Amino acid sequence: MSPQPTDRQRLTRALVFGAILSAAGVVLFLLLFFGMSGVENTPRLFVSLCIPPAVIALVLGVYLLISRGRQSP
* The pLDDT value given to residue 72: 61
> pLDDT tens digits, residue range 3-44?
787 888 989 998 999 999 999 999 999 999 999 999 999 999
Backbone angles phi, psi at 49, to 5 degrees: -85, -25
Rounded Cα distance between 71 and 41, Å, is 46
Residue 20 corresponds to which amino acid? I
Query: Whole domain around residue 43: which residue ranges?
Result: 7-71
**Residue 2: inside a domain:** no
**Is the whole-model pTM more than 0.85?**
no
Rounded Cα distance between 56 and 27, Å, is 12
Domain count, the chain: 1
Instruction: Read off the pLDDT of each residue in 53-68 and give the average, rounded to a whole number.
Output: 92
Residue 1 has pLDDT above 60, yes or no: no
**Residue 21: inside a domain:** yes
User: Which stretches of the chain are assigned E, i.e. beta strand?
Assistant: none
* The pLDDT value given to residue 73: 60
**Residue 51: inside a domain:** yes
